[in-house]
Amino acid sequence: MPTYIPHSRTDGEENRGSRDSAASIPIPLMHNMPMGQLDLIAPVTGDVEVALTGKASDKATRHVDGRNTLNDLAGHEWLPETKSFFFQKGLGADHAHTEIERQHPAPFSFQDIARLVGFFTKSGHTVLDPFAGVGSTAKACALLGRKSIGIELSKRWHELSQQRLRVEAGLPRLDAHRLILGDARVVMPTLRPNSVDFVVTSPPYWAILNKKPDHKSLERVRRELATTYSTDKRDLGNMTDYGAFVDELVGVFLACGRVLKSKRYMAIIVSDFRHGTEYYSFHSDLIQRLKGAPIRRNSRLELQGVKVLLQNHKSLKPYGYPFAYVENVHHQYILIFRKQASAA
């Protein structure tokens, strides 16, 4: 029987189902994946078989350093995950497990989340996503044996998250996954300080979905799919002023820092974008605001690196041709921060 590794899907585009295996998820991440999930992923050979079957192998022995309090990876699994980039992959647009995901106008692939969760947590750890959407983080955690807390403002996306865990992750009960319907700015102060092991999220990209319909949104309208996050006035994706939007977003991330345990990590997945005629360097705006930002009196967020998530399979559009340069943005940034003690 062949063995498998998950493949990722691009954010906000139909899944084209790339079937190469260049960007594999580390072996231990597969330990808790139900065998029924194997149809989601592409065949490889090697140590993954040991992780899936639990059978001993003469080809590989895994040794996790006893000093490793970050994750469950052996050294040869850890090293490739320190590259400053990786490629998104796809399930295939017609796969049954994209049915819920595609309802959201800008979903984030659970496979890409799984890669981050697997590196920055150990089995049984708790992961927080303050902008949960349709539950990509919760699904990744469910498959990898982690607990999750997800906050979502939209009742529709919140309910689809619950459905996704039951249908796609095969969970009859959601005891290990606390899905909260509400505004992250209101909910975050109610969570216990220093209680989560990792924060990972892909927040709203300001109001870029509230624009004149283009080829993408018109296709979604034709298929009777949502084209905006919500119509809720509290939704950060409905704010009209970019500066005020960034202010509110930074406030949410600092609140997440209060809940994050000391020396643990926060990963924020964002993309730069064009809105109207102006280009916004969203990722650098967040870095400038969050780097060294104080959390209460005794800790701060420190930038540890920026990983690039490459979307090489997205189709090229002739924006600007033949008059001006308009970029096809085919990558996202993963901003990686760590909660550190402040200097005395």
**What letters, b where the CB count within 10 A reaches 16 and e where it falls short, cover 76-103?**
ebbeebeeeebbbbbbbeeeebbebbbb
Mean pLDDT, to the nearest integer, of 196-210? 88
Round to whole Å and give the CA distance between 151 and 158. 8
Q: Look at residue 79 and tell me whether its pLDDT is greater than 70.
A: yes
Confidence of residue 217 (pLDDT cuts 50, 70, 90): low
- Radius of gyration (C-alpha) of the chain in whole angstroms: 20
pTM of model > 0.85: no
Please determine, for residue 194, whether its predicted confidence score (pLDDT) is greater than 80. Answer: yes
Q: How confident is the model at residue 1 (pLDDT cuts 50, 70, 90)?
A: very low
Q: How confident is the model at residue 262 (pLDDT cuts 50, 70, 90)?
A: very high
Mean pLDDT of 10-37: 42
- Between 232 and 121, residue with greater pLDDT: 121
Q: Specify the pLDDT at position 293.
A: 96
Tokens encoding 175: 């005891």
Judged against a pLDDT cut of 80, whether residue 73 lies above it is answered with: yes
d(CA 339, CA 299): 7
pLDDT, tens only, 303-342: 999 999 999 888 899 989 999 999 999 999 999 999 999 8
> How large is the average pLDDT for residues 144-149?
97
In the predicted model, is pLDDT for residue 55 greater than 60? no
Residue 45 pLDDT > 80: no
First to last CA, the chain: 57
Is pLDDT at 221 greater than 80 in this prediction? no
Q: Where are the beta strands (DSSP E) in the chain?
A: 3-5, 42-44, 85-87, 126-129, 147-152, 177-181, 196-201, 260-270, 273-275, 278-280, 294-295, 299-310, 331-341
pLDDT at 53 over 50: no
Express each pLDDT in 87-123 by its tens digit: 987 666 777 777 778 776 777 888 999 999 999 999 9
What is the overall mean pLDDT for the chain? 82
Structure-block tokens of residue 66: 């006893």
Question: Long-range contacts: 156-161, Cβ < 8 Å, 24+?
Answer: 156/103, 156/226, 156/230, 157/104, 157/132, 157/133, 157/230, 158/132, 160/100, 160/103, 160/104, 160/134, 160/135, 161/132, 161/133, 161/134, 161/135
Residue 183 pLDDT > 70, yes or no?
Answer: yes
Residue 229, pLDDT score: 76
Mean pLDDT of the region 158-165: 95
Q: What percent of the chain has pLDDT over 70?
A: 76
Arithmetic mean of pLDDT, 283-298: 95
* β-pair partners for 340: 300
Cα–Cα distance measured from residue 249 to residue 204, given in angstroms and rounded to the nearest whole number: 9
Angle between helices 282-290 and 242-259 (to 10 degrees): 50
pLDDT of residue 92: 66
What tokens appear for 219 in the block? 């296709």
pLDDT of residue 89: 73
pLDDT of residue 203: 95
Q: Is 3 helix (H, G, I), strand (E, B) or coil?
A: strand
Domains located in the chain, CATH noted: 3-341 (3.40.50.150)
Residue 33 scores a pLDDT above 60: no
Rounded Cα distance, 53 and 196, in Å? 30
pLDDT, greater one: 31 or 196: 196
Structure tokens at 107: 């979903």
Residue-level length of the chain: 344
- H/E stretch holding 159: helix 155-167
